[in-house]
Chain A
Amino acid sequence: MRKILFVVMFTMVLLVSGCVPQNERITAYRVPHLPRPIARERAIITPAGQGVEGLVISQITSQLNIRNRFWRKVRGKDLSDRYDCVIIVLGISHGNMKRLKTDLTQEQQRLVELARSAKERGMAVVLVSMGKLYRHAGTDAISEAVAPHTDYVIVVGDGNYDGFFERLTAKANVPLTIVSDIEKIKTPLNSVFR
Chain B
Amino acid sequence: MNGLLADRDKFWQGLLIAVSALVVQRLLEKLYWQVLVKIEESILNKDSGSLILAAGVLVGLDSLRALPVFLGAFRAAEALKKKNGVLALLVAGMIIIAIFTVLYISQPGQWDWGVPLVVFLSAVALLLIWGRGILRFWHKLIILSQLLMGIYWLSVAPLLTHFGFGRGELPASIKLAADYLDAHGTLNFFSFAFFLPFVIIAVITTGLIDNYSKIIQHINAAKEQEKQIRRVRIAAAQARILEELHALVHDLKTPLTTIQGLSSLLEMTSSNAKQREYAGKISQSVENMNDMISEMLYEEVRKPTSVHALINYVRAQIILENMNQKFYFYIEENLPDIEVNKIRLARALVNVIENAIRATESMSGGEIIVSVKKQDGGVKFTVEDNGKGISQQDLARIWEPGFSSSKSSGLGLTFVRKVVEDHGGHIYIDSRLGKGTRVTIVIPRG
The interface of chain A, by Cβ under 8 A from chain B, is 51-53, 55-56, 59-60, 91-96, 98-99, 130, 133-134, 136, 181-183
Contact = CB atoms under 8 A, between A and B. Distances in A.
Given A52-B36, A52-B43, A94 B169 contact: yes
Given A92-B109, A181-B179, A182-B180, A56 B43 contact: yes
Interface in B1-51: 29, 32-33, 35-36, 39-40, 43-44, 46
Contacts of A55: 40, 43-44
Interface in B77-121: 107-109
Contacts of A51: 169, 173
A92 B176 contact: no
Contacts of B172: 133-134
Given A93-B109, A96-B36, A133-B167, A182 B179 contact: yes
Contact of A133 (B32, B108, B161): B161
A183 B179 CA distance: 8
A52 B109 contact: no
Top 8 A-B residue pairs of the complex, sorted by shortest distance between their CB atoms: A94-B109, A52-B173, A94-B108, A56-B180, A182-B179, A133-B172, A99-B33, A95-B36
Interface in B141-187: 161, 167, 169-170, 172-173, 175-177, 179-180, 182
B52 to A, nearest CB: 16
B267 to A, nearest CB: 116
Contact of A92 (B29, B169, B180, B182): B169
A95 B175 contact: no
Contact of A52 (B32, B107, B176): B176
Nearest to A181: B179
Contacts of A94: 107-109, 169
A60 B181 CA distance: 11
Contacts of A52: 36, 39-40, 43, 173, 176-177
B180 A93 contact: no
Nearest to B32: A95
B43 A95 contact: no
A156 to B, nearest CB: 9
B108 A134 contact: no
18 contacts: A51-B169, A51-B173, A52-B40, A52-B176, A56-B176, A59-B46, A59-B180, A92-B169, A95-B33, A133-B161, A133-B167, A133-B175, A133-B176, A134-B172, A134-B176, A136-B109, A182-B179, A183-B182
Given A93-B36, A93-B169, A99-B36, A56 B107 contact: no
B310 to A, nearest CB: 88
Given A55-B40, A55-B43, A99-B36, A130 B169 contact: no
B44 A130 contact: no
Contacts of A133: 161, 167, 172, 175-176
Interface string B61-83: 00000000000000000000000
A156 B40 CA distance: 20
A118 B167 CA distance: 33
Given A56-B177, A59-B180, A95 B44 contact: no
- Most chain B beta-carbon neighbours within 10 Å: one of A52, A53, A60, A94: A52
B156 to A, nearest CB: 13
Contacts of A91: 176
Contacts of B29: 98
A53 B109 contact: no
Interface in B361-400: none
B43 A93 contact: no
Contacts of A53: 173, 176
A179 to B, nearest CB: 12
Given A51-B173, A96-B36, 7 more contacts: A51-B169, A52-B176, A56-B43, A56-B180, A59-B46, A95-B35, A136-B109
B109 A59 contact: no
- Most chain B beta-carbon neighbours within 10 Å: one of A55, A134, A183: A55
- Most chain A beta-carbon neighbours within 10 Å: one of B39, B172, B175: B172
Nearest to B174: A52
A95 B182 CA distance: 25
Contacts of A92: 109, 169
Nearest to B166: A133
B30 to A, nearest CB: 9
B169 A59 contact: no
B109 A95 contact: yes
A60 B401 CA distance: 88
Contacts of B40: 52, 55
Contacts of B35: 95
Nearest to B110: A94
B25 to A, nearest CB: 12
Nearest to A156: B179
A59 B107 CA distance: 28
B179 A93 contact: no
A174 B36 CA distance: 33
A114 B429 CA distance: 89
Nearest to B46: A59
